[in-house]
């Protein structure tokens, strides 16, 4: 099976991927795959990020072995058997993104995306979508949650349990 680990930047995809790799899972970061295969297209000056053609990326992913965890904020758009979304409360996510030295505008754009469930909505329609709230988890605990989902212990992780609206209403 191919599993996508997606989520807003800073929700901890790369950290959980590192732990899963250490535990023997086959893991591929899509950012690295895109760079290796020359799939990074026009740079979006405003965002300081590259555009990627999802079809081209899907093509590249199809050539990979079938038993793999694909990690990246576009992975939920690919042909995969399961999507696992990493979530993080916007207030904690803010701290993580500010610590990266990101501009206020870039931090804000991503907090809005997380607060509004943008990636969840993009993933809706996929038959197997799960969410992990990493706000109070260390990467090892997040990896435990991923492994539980892979074992089929999915009850706690079905979409609908994570809701940042209360926190966001506090901003107004």
Ligand X SMILES: Nc1ncnc2c1ncn2[C@@H]1O[C@H](COP(=O)(O)OP(=O)(O)OP(=O)(O)O)[C@@H](O)[C@H]1O
Interacting residues toward ligand X by CB under 6 A: 7, 9-15, 73, 96, 99, 134, 137-139, 142
Binding part of the chain for Mg ion, among 12-20, 42-50, 59-67, 89-97 by CB under 5 A, reads 12-20
Q: Which range touches Mg ion (CB under 5 A), out of 8-16, 61-69, 85-93, 135-143?
A: 8-16
Closer residue to Mg ion (CB): 14 or 49: 14
- Residue listed under structure tokens 């899972």: 25
Minimal distance in Å, beta carbon 155 to ligand X?
Answer: 21
Distance (Å, whole) CA 13 – CA 70:
10
- From the list ligand X, Mg ion, none, partner contacted by residue 90 (C-beta under 5 to 8 A by kind): none
Closest CA to 97 of 115, 87, 114, 110: 110
Residues 130 to 169: which contact Mg ion by CB under 5 A?
A: none
Burial of 164 per CB tally in 10 Å (0-12, 13-18, 19+)? buried
Exposed (0-12), middle (13-18) or buried (19+): which is 106, by Cβ within 10 Å? middle
């Amino acid at each position: 099976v191919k599993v996508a680990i997606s989520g807003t930047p800073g929700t901890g995809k790369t950290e959980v991927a590192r732990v899963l790799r250490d535990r023997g899972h086959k893991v591929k970061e899509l950012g690295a795959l895109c760079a290796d295969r020359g799939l990074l297209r026009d740079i979006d000056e405003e965002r300081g990020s590259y555009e990627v053609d999802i079809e081209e990326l899907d093509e590249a992913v199809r050539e990979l072995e079938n038993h793999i965890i694909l990690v990246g904020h576009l992975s939920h758009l690919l042909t995969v058997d399961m999507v696992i979304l990493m979530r993080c409360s916007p207030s904690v996510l803010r701290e993580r993104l500010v610590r990266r030295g990101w501009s206020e505008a870039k931090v804000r754009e991503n907090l809005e995306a997380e607060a509004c469930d943008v990636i969840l909505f993009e993933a809706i329609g996929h038959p197997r979508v799960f969410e992990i709230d990493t706000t109070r988890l260390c990467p090892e605990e997040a990896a435990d949650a991923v492994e539980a989902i892979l074992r089929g212990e999915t009850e706690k992780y079905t979409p609908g349990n994570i809701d940042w609206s209360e926190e966001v209403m506090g901003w107004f």
